[in-house]
Structure 1
Amino acid sequence: MSFAISDELLGTFVPIVVYWVYSGIYVALGSLEKYRLHSKKDEDEKNLVSKANVVKGVLLQQTVQAIVAMVLFTITGDDSGAATAHVPSLLVLARQFLVGMLVLDTWQYFMHRYMHHNKFLYKHIHSQHHRLVVPYAFGALYNHPLEGLILDTIGGALSFLFSGMTPRTSILFFTFATIKTVDDHCGLWLPGNVFHVIFGNNTAYHDVHHQLYGSKYNFSQPFFVMWDRIFGTYMPYSLEKRAGGGFEARPAKESKDD
């Protein structure tokens, strides 16, 4: 007797599994001090939340994420099963990916920026994510539950709806988005990292945002930097050798406050 797992179920849980597997790889590589953007000592001393609490926070967000995904798939599903069985062409798939990326980036830029500029929202909600002064991989989704719902879960739902992707396509898209988000927070500048080559919005770019001097810049996530450039919140970085080994992302030049 064969047992088939639905695309909806895979679309809900594959990105969650990938999150922990991929971040686990970076945890294992964290001992490579010569590739770190911050020392291991800084990670342990500067962060304002324990790793146990980070894990709990991420698991809570992923629980909410899974519930919303299942509800969304149920509402948009086709009882005939046609939507699940349909395989889009590569051109359609590329278009859906691009639309999904643009929608997600647009939503997250403006929501993220507003949470920094609204003092109440920053103090009571977004500051939780910035307890990680030194980002690391499995802390990528460590947020206040309300922020996780607004930025990530609703942002993901909007990208799914506006792009017209099927549950099967969503498996690929949200797995890719998850890997990219984890990579942006991994704290490592590894040689040959394809994300660092393709995307200007990468590990060092987002690390600048987590530092005090960059807290009003580099809001864009997780793919492009266009909104930062358009609205004057773009802070370019330069990588410099850090005392004791590794790299440090520093502002490449003075940026004008918006």
Structure 2
Amino acid sequence: MMINGGLEVSDELLGTVAPIVVYWLYSGIYVLLGSLENYRLHTKKDEDEKNLVSKKDVVKGVLLQQAVQAVVATILFAVTGSDTDSAQSQQTSFFVLARQLLVAMMVLDTWQYFMHRYMHHNKFLYRHIHSQHHRLVVPYAFGALYNHPVEGLLLDTIGGALSFLISGMSPRASIFFFSFATLKTVDDHCGLWLPGNLFHIFFGNNSAYHDIHHQLYGNKYNFSQPFFVMWDRILGTYMPYSLEKRSKGGFEARPGKDCKEN
């Protein structure tokens, strides 16, 4: 892929680096928007007081996971082939690309649902691995990938590799898929309910839906991530919610009837 009309960067390198850059840029936007109390699902005070891990440790944990992902992506691209793609990617029809992206979304959702659910029901795995992510009682954007390294490898890295391999997408297509999946994951943890958010319009799995899961009463529900709520509905782990305004500003996701965005 050509950048600025002269510098050529391989699709494999972009497929490795782009999701990391997207993660921090998109998270940064939400950090700036975090002062908008009228759109928060929890108050800023709750974010500072209820979470059981410092933001410094969260950043360190995310960077470790992204380093592992970069190594695995480099190996995966090296094993599956070289950058043949310029011609090959250009020949891929829109319908083939759409099919590949949909298959990748379904594979990632399926893998993450069952692995995520198992980590909640296996007491050893929850206590020693998955509970690290739930130190964020009040989720925020750049904590989306704050996990135990083993969980990061199993859920995100291996899940991403499987979605890439099974869908048959090219390295170039993977740039867009993994960047999009990163945006969606960050958005689900942003702790905000902003008007006109396209993710809330097109996906039932959103920041309020996932916030329910991070609360004690929703700990065994709403396992689906990052795209659809299909598996929760099919297997009885779907917890509907209502989005209600707090008296002092902002919103609160409460167990109850489904609601649409205000």
Give the TM-score, by structure 2 length. Answer: 0.94
Q: How does 1:10-21 map to 2 (within 5 A)?
A: 10-21=14-25
For structure 2, which runs of at least 5 residues remain unmatched after alignment?
258-262
Structure 1 residue aligned with 2:118: 114
Query: Cα deviations across residues 108-166 of structure 1 (Å, max 9, x unaligned)?
Result: 00000000000000000000000000000000000000000000000000000000000
Query: Cα deviations across residues 152-194 of structure 1 (Å, max 9, x unaligned)?
Result: 0000000000000000000000000000000000000000000
Code of the aligned partner of 1:131: R
Displacement of 1:2 = 4.2
Code of the aligned partner of 2:216: L
Structure 1 residue aligned with 2:254: 250
Displacement of 1:89 = 1.2
Displacement of 1:3 = 3.0
Structure 1 residue aligned with 2:230, among 208, 223, 226?
Answer: 226
For structure 1, which runs of at least 5 residues remain unmatched after alignment?
254-258
Inter-partner Cα distance in structure 2 for 1:117 and 1:69: 30
Identity of counterpart residues, as a percentage? 80
Q: Which runs of 4+ in 1 moved over 3 A?
A: none
Secondary structure of the 1:120 match is: helix
Displacement of 1:82 = 2.5
Inter-partner Cα distance in structure 2 for 1:19 and 1:218: 23
Q: How does 1:94-173 map to 2 (within 5 A)?
A: 94-173=98-177
Structure 2 residue aligned with 1:186, among 184, 187, 190?
Answer: 190
Structure 2 residue aligned with 1:74: 78
Inter-partner Cα distance in structure 2 for 1:103 and 1:162: 8
Displacement of 1:83 = 3.0
Structure 1 residue aligned with 2:260: none
Structure 1 residue aligned with 2:85, among 64, 76, 83?
Answer: 83
Aligned Cα root-mean-square deviation (Å):
1.3
Inter-partner Cα distance in structure 2 for 1:6 and 1:28: 32
Number of positions where the alignment pairs a residue of Structure 1 with one of Structure 2? 252
Structure 2 residue aligned with 1:256: none
Query: Cα deviations across residues 49-97 of structure 1 (Å, max 9, x unaligned)?
Result: 000000000000000000000000000014xx43354222111110011
Code of the aligned partner of 1:172: F
Q: Give the direction of change, closer, same or farther, for the CA distance of 1:38–1:118 in structure 2 (3 Å limit).
A: same
Q: Give the direction of change, closer, same or farther, for the CA distance of 1:93–1:134 in structure 2 (3 Å limit).
A: same
Give the TM-score, by structure 1 length. Answer: 0.96
Structure 1 residue aligned with 2:178: 174
Inter-partner Cα distance in structure 2 for 1:64 and 1:244: 42
Structure 2 residue aligned with 1:55: 59
Secondary structure of the 1:238 match is: strand
